[in-house]
Structure formats: structure tokens, C-alpha cells
Structure 1
């Protein structure tokens, strides 16, 4: 499999004693993702599905500030949402601020390994759509893993952080890794893919979310109703990896694919009209990102992405021009 540039690995954290003692707050940024190519096998006995996915980290980020609370127990974790969050108040209202939040679970996992652990406060700035098929919650968790590792001086390796992340969800290890990758198994068996040249996209979020388990269930129902028999996917098409390697948007366009798209469109039929708008306005290709309902439109280059975003906005849609691949979870301050 391809190998990626080392720039996509989490940064090395200073280990000198003075830096450790001075560190009381860590700010980390982690990217959302899109699935450029996504194949889904039949349901397994455990209810999960084997997948073959081509992940791409894109420049729509979550930011988390983790602040130590000296004198409190490691289990004493509080959460708030930053005013700088760009998502609507209605969407933010649905985010749990208790122990069910993946970010809190991430902090607790690191605390179990950190002799210096104390209570912390997590301030999350949300920019990735919630329940939007872009792994926003997983990005939060990845950011907290990196931040708490730095804050408490646990000095965990990337592999150790990834193993912790896999306990929280299949998308967390990729939010740590960033860049481009092939995901097998349930999406957690990651192999980095070479993608040195950015590809440009326009994302159109929805005003609602879709539950990933519900989308998978609907896919199974649609396949059963149609009598469709599918094999377990073994690998992403080599044409996808070749297009990522060369950064050739035109070569990638015919290979954009998402097995979950039919289920997402069945649950949210209005998305089809937005896909048609993007096609009409000149996107090279278009698809539902992951389990949806965020839509991704492939552009020829940066200028085309800006033009396409403006045209979609003029048609009444929210639209963001982004690029990928970008770095995984990394410390800002």
C-alpha cells in the first residue's frame, strides 16, 4: 500500500521538565473527513459491516482547548461549546455535554494512563456538521487524545493514541492520522495513501443530521428488498489511489462512489435536488459524504471550488470550499 508524507503524523511534544510544568492548557485542531470511495459489505454476525473506504482529511476543522483543573480528580471533566462555533444554535443544542460525549470518553482513556492526570475542562469549537457524515465527533475525540497526552505528559506514540481512538469509534484513528488513507475492516484498519497534491471540494451541509446506524440499517433493507447480494469488499480500486497520488481531479471524478448514498437519499430525498444543483453548476462529480447528509462536490482546482461554492450559495445553499488532504490532529498552542 502507499505511504504518506511524515508531515501527517502527530507532532512531537516537548518533553523537558520546564515545558511540562508550565503547560496548563493545550489547543488542538483536528480535521473532518470525506469518503472519496466507500464500499459496504453485508452485515456481519455482530451487526457491523466490513468496508473498503478511501478517506480524505479536509480543511474543515474542529478545535478543542483542554485546560487543566489542578486539585480535581481525573474523572472530573467539564465541557462547553465555544461561542466561535460556526454551526447553528439548534444543532449545537443537540450536543451532549456529559459523559456520553466522545471527547469526555477520550480524556478518560488518557487519564487511565497518566500519573499526572487531573480534572480538565474541554472547550470545543464546532465547525464540522453534527451527524453529517464527516466525523466531527471523532475529530473532537482525536483532538482531546492529543491534548491530554501533551497536558499530562503521557508521551504516548501515534500507534498508542490510535489504539485508544479505536475504542471510541472507527473514524477516530483517521482523525489522528489525517492525510489520505485506505480503511478496511470496519474502517479502523488504516493504511496511509500517498496524496501529495491537494484536491479541491465544495461541501454543502444540511440543516439536519442522519444517524449512521439508521443509514446502514436502511441500506441493508434496500438490498434485501431488491434481492441484492454483495460480497465483502477487500480493497479500494487502484484507480482511486492512482488519482489521489497524482492529484488528478478529472481522473478521480468517475470513481467517486458511496454505497451508503442510496440509503441516505431514501431517508432524506431532498438531498437529490442539491446533488443535481451541483451537477448543473459544473462540479466534476458529487456524492453523499459517509452516512450523510453532508454533500461533497469535486472541483477542478481552487478557483473552480470558489466559483462553485459561490454558485451554490446563490442557489440558496450553504457551501464551503475546502481542500484535502490536510494534517491530522495537531497542537496549535
Structure 2
């Protein structure tokens, strides 16, 4: 068997910088969550077709792992990938909650791509893999580079490692799912015209602990928080003082 961890992430800050070609551009600090991860395993199995177990709540065609499999096949044309998955199935052990702003689906797909590269000896660089991953989802390049912390910008394809001590974080995910597409659509309709690009100048140089202590306001740190509150007003009832908001939600986090 071949196994890899697919870690969750939090957004220390997330600022929307514009809208182009139907997508939002961003400026964010991603931090890997060391103690929360899904597990992707390639188990020996005679399979007639590409097989994924453990993601029954996601339609097969919509599964990011399946999208990653298709993208790798189309990009590389490597028959070793096809042959490998006639003899192995993909088993996903889920621990990262869905629609929680933690990047679970993207992390799973990125970990899958990294493991396929290893087991099939693909002649593809990490940079090329990240570029391919960006066609599947904006968070994939960060997970493919696998940095503990990074400044992420553009459509998510610009990933610059940030050297800092790992933070000890406590996560709190209420029983509310926030659909990323809905949150971004809400932001575009209600908040896009009010973005202030100068509000986060210099943030990329500050370590995450300093940022959380210095700014200390989850709405200022994360532009998508206000959009999530508009789209999912029930979040107001579960928000806690001193907690920050990750991505498009619904997970809150704080320093411990």
C-alpha cells in the first residue's frame, strides 16, 4: 500500500484584490494544520475502472481526486497511471470536515497528485504539477508545494513560502456548511465594489502570530467573513469572541 497525509489549512488572513475572467484574485497567508488531515491510500485491488472509496457524499464526477486523475492522464499521457489504477483503488479516510474553509477537497486532490507522481515515477516538476493543480482548484498549488506556511496570491497560483514557527491552533467547526461558490458570489454582489487594496500593505512580511495579535479583528483579516455572514446569517449565532474565520468558512480558529 502507498499512503499520504492530506493536511487541512487555515487562512491567517484573506483579502480579495479584484475580479478577472469570472474569478476573484486574492492575497492570503495559508498555514498548514499539522494535526488535522485526511489520509489517501492506494490499496491493491483489481479494478475495471478508476475507483475511489470513502467519499460517498460527493458525486464521483465532482470529486476533486477524480478531476486530478483525469488532469494527470490528459497532461502526461503516461500509461503507467492507467495501469496502476487497474491494480489499485483509492481509499480516502476523511477527518477534515467539508464546506469548512479548511481546504479538505483540494488537499485530497493535491496529495493524490503528489503520491501518483511518486509511485508512477512521473517526469513532472513540482512547479508543473502545481500549475496543473490550479486548473482544478485555487487552493491546490499551496497543497502541492506542501509548505507549512506561505503567502498566496493571484488566482492561488502564486505560492511563496513564508518561514515562521508553526502555531498551535484550536479549531471550532459549527454544524453549518458554507458553499465556497455561494460565498464568493455573495462577495461579488455585495462587497466587491468596496475593497481597499491598501488595507493590507506589508502583511506578507509579518509572521502569523503577530498578525493575529496586531489586527485581532476577524472581519478585517478575512474579506470572506462578512460575505459568509450575509450568505449564512446563522453563523452570527455560533461566532465566538476572540476567534478568527478561515477561508469561506465555516471553521473558526484561535491561538492556544
Q: Determine the C-alpha separation between the residues in 2 that align with 1:202 and 1:41.
A: 28
1:243·1:251 contact (CA, 8 Å) conserved in 2? no
Q: CA RMSD in A?
A: 2.5
Within the candidate set 160, 168, 171, 1:191 is matched to 160
- TM-score, normalised to structure 1, is 0.67
- Structure 1 residue 199, shift from structure 2 partner: 1.2
Q: Determine the C-alpha separation between the residues in 2 that align with 1:229 and 1:272.
A: 22
Aligned: 1:36 with 2:4: no
Uncovered stretches (5+) of structure 1, i.e. residues with no partner: 1-24, 82-91, 280-284, 300-304, 306-333
1:167 alignment partner, SS class = coil
- Structure 1 residue 254, shift from structure 2 partner: 3.1
- Structure 1 residue 135, shift from structure 2 partner: 0.7
- TM-score, normalised to structure 2, is 0.85
Aligned: 1:288 with 2:250: no
The C-alpha deviation readout for 1:22-79, integer Å capped at 9, x for no partner, is xxx31011211111111113433x2211111111111211110023556x67xx2111
> Bigger relative contact order, structure 1 or 2, given CA contacts below 8 A and separation 6+?
1
Larger radius of gyration between Structure 1 and Structure 2: 1
Alignment of 1:36-75 (within 5 A): 36-44=12-20, 46-59=21-34, 60-67=36-43, 69=45
Q: Determine the C-alpha separation between the residues in 2 that align with 1:243 and 1:251.
A: 10
1:94 alignment partner, SS class = coil
Corresponding residue of 1:173: 141
Corresponding residue of 2:50: 77
Q: Determine the C-alpha separation between the residues in 2 that align with 1:34 and 1:167.
A: 21
1:68·1:151 contact (CA, 8 Å) conserved in 2? no
1:240·1:255 contact (CA, 8 Å) conserved in 2? no
Between structures 1 and 2, the one with greater helix share: 2
1:199·1:249 contact (CA, 8 Å) conserved in 2? no
Corresponding residue of 2:64: 102
Q: Determine the C-alpha separation between the residues in 1 that align with 2:204 and 2:237.
A: 26
Q: Determine the C-alpha separation between the residues in 2 that align with 1:162 and 1:240.
A: 21
Corresponding residue of 1:12: none
2:45·2:89 contact (CA, 8 Å) conserved in 1? yes
